[in-house]
Amino acid sequence: MSDSLQLLILFVILAIIAIAIFVVIALSTGRPSGESSEPPGGYVIRRRWFLVLILVLFACFFTTIPFVPYETAAMALQPALRVPVVAHQYFFDMPSHLPLNRRIMFEVTSDDVNHGFAIYGPRDHLIAQTQAMPDYVNYLAVTFHRPGKYKVRCLEFCGPGHFAMDKAFTVGGAP
Amino acid sequence: MSDEPLESTTSGRRVMKLYVYSGLIIVALMMLAGITMRAEQAGWASGVSAGLFYALLTLHGAGMIVGLLLCGMGALWYLMCRHIHMSAPLAALACILQVVGVIGIVIATLFGGFAALYTFLDPLPYHGTWPDWSTGLFLISMGLVCAGWVIWSLQMLGGVMRAYGGLRGAMGWDFVFFHKSFTAAGRHPPPPEAFPALLSGIDGIIAGMAGMVLMVALIVRWLDPRVKIDPLWAKNLTYFFGHTIANVIIYMLAATIYVGIPYAAGRKYHTSIVLAIAWWTSTTLTMTNYFHHMYMDFAQPHAMSFFGEWSSYMSSLPVVVVTVFSALMIVWRSRTRWGLGAIFMYSGMVGWVVGGIAAEIDATIPFNTHLHNTLWVPAHFHTYLLGGCLLFAVGWVFLLLESRSRRRTSMFFRWVICTLVFGGMAVFLAGFYAAGAMGVPRRYAGYIFTGMPIGQLFAQIATIGAAVMIIGFILLFIEGLWLRLHRLTAMPSSPQPLVESIS
């Protein structure tokens, strides 16, 4: 299962829990308490809810930091095959074949407007991306562990031909 | 029964009608543009070329934001006119500027073919196939929208500060830090809806001015192509302006929760220390969490991305710990009468929270790698703009109509409307979420020829959902007209509190 499908499942579970809470509270109005103000016990729950939520957010923040796609200065100096990528309206200027199991540093820029540089794997799942901007170079490190046909798609709107802007390339085997 | 009537001053009522009716008309027209695009992606509108598709997308995005902004401005104006004095002619001027801006956007996109999207990231506006005049017209029109927004925000901030003793009083500073002496002196903090008014004023002025700076820079570049703009600087300004405007819309309409939900529940929403601190937090973080739009711009200093992630997380706390939680406490075992107004306002909170969950997932940097600029993005913002803000606006209008007509829609008709609107909306949004999780890109004028047939399948599902939802909204509109007509013929005098009127 791809990472993004796992995110969808996480979202669906959380959304169902949230909707269920709203439904239960709406249904509670069928047996009113007769009080003219909100239940005082609610504030105790609110305090605990705040603490739980802030702990969860702290945990999410710190546990996901190791997986960010940014290069530290030390990582950027590691050996890698440097692959320049120049995006144009509406094509990518880049190699059509890349090696397997080798660290590749894509040096992504644009010749005209903002573009996206998104790599889709053989099963058409989005595996990595960065923006292609004029006047700037974005460095994206990727190591391909699976041979096959890959595709780069533009994910930043760049003009009326945006939806047709892609580039196929192969990984592994003979070029 | 609530002590606080829903009524405002005559000028407050007039200004609200001008804003909310203009906003809802724009929103309805933009919905038609939206479903046309989804039908094109579904392969059911072959007459729509790629150029027209992107012109419609530009119009839809810019128009929908302005439409909902007008709804929020009108509703908040109405609420605050119950407490403070503001100039109705200036409010009308601000509204007219924005409506003229929308008309300019319509001409630039539909007649000029301008299609650099509502984000108009520099330098795309100057690299298109559209005529030069449409670029200029679009930018000037957006400048008018910004000007109207800033005029409104200045008035709102000035009014709130004048009424509650400057910024210190409006923030509830003494109420929070010198609580005992404050209450012992018999002083009262501002009402809950004054805090979103303060946020809207402060953040609206800052983001609106940033938007105007951006527009001026882009217009200068349009007039003289030799002028170069740094694309990263322009991108930061664009997202600061765009993200803040979208957030301020939510907070403006969230103010109706503080009045509408207690009114329907027959209970009262009090200003508390926690509420004041929550709104200070929101006022600050609304302006800093836009960095999450730029996670994939690796040239941006990484610290800004981490700060954006943390800021996005923290901005959820005031919503789910204070505003929504308190509203749920008020509804819990209350005598809430579920007219369409209360149903839509309550459901709007569901959309706000669910859309917020999706937004927080997307605001996590490693997850954003898989979701950035896929259909997950429109999924989450449609959830809280369509399923949140629009429902707040419609719910608010119906609360007023029900209050003044002393009528409530029949149980059968409520079920029909809610089933169509919420059922259609759920299907429409599910099409976005599922496709986004599969990596289907957003802003594609068709999926079949781009090797992503799954995108077309989800577009077909979403189009059916959107059509059902629109039928529901049409029935809702007819019901609103009926309630309005009844008010005119049977209730020309002062309104009655909702809880009594519908019992």
B495 has pLDDT over 50: no
Chain A neighbors of B335, CB-CB under 8 A: 29, 32
Which of A14, A19, A156 minimises the CB distance to B350? A19
Read off the pLDDT band of B62 (50, 70, 90): very high
Residue in B1, B58, B124, B304 to test binding to A, most A beta-carbons within 10 Å = B124
> What one-letter code names the amino acid at A57?
L
B127–A159: do the CB atoms touch at under 8 Å?
yes
Task: Tell me the chain A residues in contact with residue B357 when contact means C-beta distances shorter than 8 Å.
Answer: 11, 14-15, 18
Cα distance from B389 to chain A (closest Cα, Å)? 17
Task: Say what angle helices B324-331 and B231-265 make with each other, to 10 degrees.
Answer: 10
Whether A133 contacts chain B with CB within 8 A: yes
Residue B42 CA to residue B126 CA, distance in Å, equals: 30
What is the 8-class DSSP label of residue B5? Answer: -
How many CB atoms are located within 10 Å of the residue B93 CB? 16
Instruction: For residue B143, give the nearest of B198, B90, B66 by alpha carbon.
Output: B66
Residue B249 in tokens: 């819309």
Model confidence pLDDT, tens digit, residues B235-269: 999 999 999 999 999 999 999 999 999 999 998 88
Measure in Å the smallest separation between the Cα of B126 and chain A Cα atoms: 9
Q: Quick one: CA torsion of B287, B293, B299, B304, rounded to 10 degrees?
A: 40
Share of chain B above pLDDT 70, in %: 96
Select from A1, A5, A8, A63 the residue whose CB has the most chain B CBs within 10 Å, as the one to mutate to test that interface: A8
Confidence of residue B501 (pLDDT cuts 50, 70, 90): very low
Please give the Cα distance from B114 to B215 (Å, whole number).
Answer: 16
Structure ipTM: 0.95
What is the per-residue pLDDT across B349-377, written as a single tens digit (0 to 9) for each? Answer: 999 999 999 999 999 999 999 999 999 99
- Two tokens, residue B325: 């939680």
Sign of CA dihedral B308, B310, B312, B315: negative
Percent of chain B with pLDDT strictly greater than 90: 87
Q: Is the distance from CB of B350 to CB of B269 less than 8 angstroms? A: no
Q: For residue A55, what are its two tokens?
A: 């702990």
Please tell me what DSSP assigns to residue B107: I
Average pLDDT along chain B: 93
Distance CA(B252)–CA(B232), nearest Å, equals: 30
- What pLDDT is recorded for position A39? 78
Residues of A in Cβ contact (< 8 Å) with B449 = 164
Q: Cα-flanking dihedrals φ and ψ of residue A118, to 5°?
A: -115, 125
Q: In what order do the strands lie in the sheet with A81-88?
A: A91-93, A81-88, A103-110, A138-143
B290: closest CA of chain A, how far (Å): 17
Q: Does residue A157 belong to the interface with chain B, where contact is any CB pair within 8 Å?
A: yes
List the single residue in A with minimal CA-CA distance to B454: A124
Residue B388 to residue B27: CA distance in whole angstroms:
14
Q: Would the CB atoms of A64 and B121 count as touching at under 8 Å?
A: no
Residue A126 has a pLDDT of 94
**Mean per-residue pLDDT, B331-347:** 95
Position B2 pLDDT exceeds 50:
no
Q: Which residue in chain B has the smallest CA separation from A124?
A: B439
Which of chain B's residues have a Cβ under 8 Å away from the Cβ of A65?
A: 306
Tell me whether residues A139 and B298 touch, CB distance under 8 A: yes
Closest residue in B to A168 (Cα) is B451
Q: Is A64 on the interface with B (CB under 8 A)?
A: yes
CA end-to-end span of chain B: 11
| pLDDT tens column, B135-174 | 999 999 999 999 999 999 999 999 999 999 999 999 999 9
Average pLDDT of span B32-41: 97
The H-or-E segment that residue A119 falls in is strand A115-120
pLDDT in tens, chain A (175 residues): 778 889 999 999 999 999 999 999 999 999 888 777 777 788 889 999 999 999 999 999 999 999 999 987 777 778 899 999 999 999 999 999 999 999 999 999 999 999 999 999 998 999 999 999 999 999 999 999 999 999 999 999 999 999 999 999 999 876 6
Q: Say if A138 is an interface residue toward chain B (CB within 8 Å).
A: yes
